Homo-oligomer: A and B are copies of this chain.
């Protein structure tokens, strides 16, 4: 059809014997343009198969209507849901969201930030990579006056708005639940101390033990990267102890799953001999046998709130915006892996 792939507002203007200014205003529904002209412009635009060029507009406006979202990985239910929650709000306000994955690699995170900056996104929402210990790239974003909001994986080294769940509470409730089920020797799978979510969950774990007067045993805290395989290894480690634990509270559903596999292979009954609780409420947790007790992180809600916070920040025009910290209450999902009947 239209071989000429470059129809601009000038072409429309020419055809209508008006100027590009008028066409631009007409397309943007500017009140200063008569309805008749608007109609004509719209019609001609359609007819010429006109395609707006956001790049030109963005250049002129210094505004791209795009916000960049950086997540460690998009294939985890939690992150995917948060993104969905963000999109809901953003799309409503006519903003587009571009999703970027850091794959939990620090260098990639830095590169991604740089790319987003170059692309002149209007703002950035991110969940920090697990391996990030230097935050200069985020500081750079802020120093350029670009709105930045962090969610879930945040840090205190940045003066930035953040949204997270109360990991401490989620952990505390999990462990409390395990104790109420009669568990007395509760192990914990965790990861690096650098990431606050893991630190908080560990704190919830220890505090619950303390409150219920269960002695803390260093040996029962196993650190790893919390993937499935790590969970398997961690469980093996625990099983080698002189006294086996009677419960595991894992900071990750995947690691909990690994533990479940090992236990089943050894015919150790869940939850009778060892109760098992995870964290995140990944969809598969309701598919396992037994179904896995876990903590729901209110992901969609978190996305909504993050986006709302972002746009608040946005409107306040960067001037004197006080970073805000929102903490959501998690929900303990009790399933069969911890429910000792009778």
Contacts and interface: CB of A to CB of B under 8 A. Distances in A.
A77 B118 CA distance: 30
Contact of A264 (B54, B83, B118, B289): B289
Given A54-B119, A54-B120, A59-B56, A145 B5 contact: yes
A98 interface: yes
A19 interface: no
A122 to B, nearest CB: 12
Interface string A242-266: 0000000000000001000100100
A315 interface: no
Given A1-B143, A145-B5, A98 B98 contact: yes
Could you say which interface size class chain A belongs to?
35 or more
Contact of A75 (B51, B52, B81, B119): B81
Contacts of A80: 73-75
Interface in A29-74: 51-56, 58-59, 64, 66, 73-74
Given A53-B59, A84-B103, 10 more contacts: A51-B117, A51-B144, A54-B119, A55-B64, A66-B119, A75-B79, A84-B101, A98-B99, A261-B287, A289-B289
A225 interface: no
Contact of A55 (B59, B101, B103): B59
Contacts of A64: 55
A59 to B, nearest CB: 5
